[in-house]
Structure 1
Amino acid sequence: MNNFTLRFAVAVLAPLAILQPTAGHCAPAPAASAAPAQGEVRMDHISVTEIGKGSPIILIPGLSSPRAVWDGVVPTLAKTHRVVLVQVNGFAGDDAGANLKPGVLDGIVADLHAYVARNRLQGAAVVGHSMGGLVGLMLAKAQPGDVGKLMIVDSLPWYGMLFGPTATVEAVTPQAAAMRDRFTASYGKPDPAANQALAARFALRPDAQAKVAGWMGKTDVRVSAEAMYEDMITDLRGDMGKIATPITMLYPTSAALPKAVAEPLYSAAYKDAPHATLVEVPDSAHFIMLDQPELFLKTVTAFAG
């Protein structure tokens, strides 16, 4: 992978954080678990809170991100929608629960389906950022009735596409395992400066970078490591043609990530999806909702209907 491809990859997906030399030390020190939020439903792999009434919209954050990543859109959505806010156990200071064992992504999907079934949310609009976008695709594949429409915020059906057109899951898996192990070994060795440096790659605005760095510092690195590993070896490219769910895919562009580079990658990734629409969001990085909050709010509101 050449230097530009590596920089591009880091800008695209948060799991690539660990490719950077300092990233192995960005785990938080062990701390007491955060108290459950009022009305929060705890499950094996996720927790869920709700606000508002109306047609349901489910918001799934990405790697190391809390449900607070959606704070800029929730108040508006809740005026006309039942907003379902997901958080992965082990992120935002939560107890890791079952996420200290393999099967994190499948467990998240299973918990989401159980929640949808129990609360009769079939056909919900679903929005997923980064790893949450992959989870949204996994849910649409496994339980198509659960997802009426899907918005993906800067994610790919297979992370390994960033290694080039000839990359395979088999070739990427040993690297992914080594990264997971190195990242897990950094548990209890916090490095706020490294978090800030990584956050600067994921967001353009200083206030956004501060939020992202803070979220990294509260994440159980053991959960992030396993989730990152599973993200890297999950390849849904062969399933895209079977996912009939309408997909709106938002991707960032900036001086560091020009459209001439980004557009072909995302177009190739979603070319087999029968109902996919790609939307460029200029002057943004991986955390589109933080870099372009007004445009993101407008786009998500229109998507929710």
Structure 2
Amino acid sequence: MKKYTIVIIAFLFSVLCLNVFAQTKSYPFEVLKTGKGKQAIIFIPGFASSGEVWNETKAAFEKDFICYTLTMAGFAGVKPQPDSSFENWKTGIADYIKDNKIEKPIVIGHSMGGGLALALASDYPDLIGKIVVVDALPCLAALSDTSFKSKENNDCSATVNQMTSMNETQFYDMQKQMMPRLLQDSSKLETVVSWSVKSDRTTFGQMYCDFSNTDLRNRIAQIKCPSLILLESYFINLKPAIDEQYKNLKTADFKYATKGLHFIMYDDTAWYLEQLKQFLKSK
């Protein structure tokens, strides 16, 4: 009897440890779960953006899909975490999918979030069902520097120091001047700027530097799932360079917006939603 008692105690202890682990495990983002349906969508916002950037998109799909909307740690008021990096964030999202047993989710990412979608589908090709990349490239730096090569152990301290040395007024003014180059819809301007201003400056500088050093051009050859690439209207002028960047992604379907800038979901909403609807309902 004593032997069975020891076995039962050991079993209960292991269950307790698993429960504690489940409760304490953290991920490099906050997540909001909404909607209903058999298929899941994971929304990843872009650099320094809140998950709220997907509010209008979610409204169109929540009746048919379970939606997991992320806001990355340190961005838009979410508490920062140590060791922020593009690769750590990619791994954290993959862990969340596996830990929560999300079956073949559709991953939709904007800007840096689009880069994370590409990296997830590249490094975990059997984990992801489909991806939608909203205005992102496998290697943004190579668009202006065709000889670009990613640096190992890239030192981001100078960029972090530059961002953290600004006072609040200087940082706000910088974002206010930059954002009209990315967003045509002036009604959303203050909202998007506020997300940057609420972001942790160290995370802001670290991730800006790290993502600028990211090159996925070779890795995307591993992607097996259907991939919709939505690009801003201006990029049609750079189509040969963009085709070259994406040449290893054999599952890509490219669509260029009819108007607007980087925030396609705001600047060309009707066109953007129609592309998503067609892609999501396709086999």
Q: TM-score, normalised by structure 1?
A: 0.77
Quick one: distance in 2 between partners of 1:58 and 1:252? 21
Residue number among 255, 263, 280 corresponding to 1:287 in the alignment: 263
| Equivalent residues, number | 257
Aligned-residue sequence identity (percent) comes to: 24
**SS of aligned partner of 1:71:** helix
Change (3 A) 1:149 1:155: same
* Aligned ranges 1:213-224 → 2 under 5 Å: 213-224=193-204
* Aligned ranges 1:1-305 → 2 under 5 Å: 43-54=26-37, 55-98=39-82, 101=83, 103-170=84-151, 178-186=158-166, 190-253=170-233, 257=234, 259-261=236-238, 263-305=239-281
Quick one: distance in 1 between partners of 2:208 and 2:235? 25
Change (3 A) 1:189 1:113: same
Q: Post-superposition shift, 1:233? A: 1.5
The residue type paired with residue 146 of structure 1 is L
The residue type paired with residue 121 of structure 1 is I
Q: Post-superposition shift, 1:217? A: 1.4
Q: Which runs of 5+ in 2 are unaligned?
A: 1-23
**SS of aligned partner of 1:127:** strand
1:191-245 superposed Cα distances (whole Å, 9 cap, x missing partner): 4332221110111121132222121111112111111111112211112222222
**SS of aligned partner of 1:95:** coil
CA contact (8 A) 2:27 2:96 kept: no
**SS of aligned partner of 2:42:** strand
**SS of aligned partner of 2:56:** coil
Quick one: distance in 1 between partners of 2:145 and 2:138? 14
Q: Which runs of 5+ in 1 are unaligned?
A: 1-40
Q: TM-score, normalised by structure 2?
A: 0.83
The residue type paired with residue 78 of structure 1 is E
CA contact (8 A) 2:110 2:136 kept: yes
Q: Post-superposition shift, 1:62? A: 0.7
The residue type paired with residue 221 of structure 1 is R
1:112-166 superposed Cα distances (whole Å, 9 cap, x missing partner): 1222112221311110111111111111122222211111011111122123222
Quick one: distance in 1 between partners of 2:100 and 2:108? 18
Structure with larger RCO (C-alpha < 8 A, sep 6+): 1
CA contact (8 A) 1:45 1:111 kept: yes
Quick one: distance in 1 between partners of 2:81 and 2:269? 32
1:76-114 superposed Cα distances (whole Å, 9 cap, x missing partner): 21010001101101112111023xx3x422222222122
Change (3 A) 1:164 1:97: closer
1:32-75 superposed Cα distances (whole Å, 9 cap, x missing partner): xxxxxxxxx98331111110111101100010000000011111
Q: Which has the larger radius of gyration?
A: 2
Q: Post-superposition shift, 1:179? A: 3.2
**SS of aligned partner of 1:65:** coil
Q: Cα RMSD over matched residues?
A: 2.3
Quick one: distance in 1 between partners of 2:110 and 2:162? 25
CA contact (8 A) 2:132 2:228 kept: yes
CA contact (8 A) 1:199 1:210 kept: no
Moved over 4 A (4+): 187-190
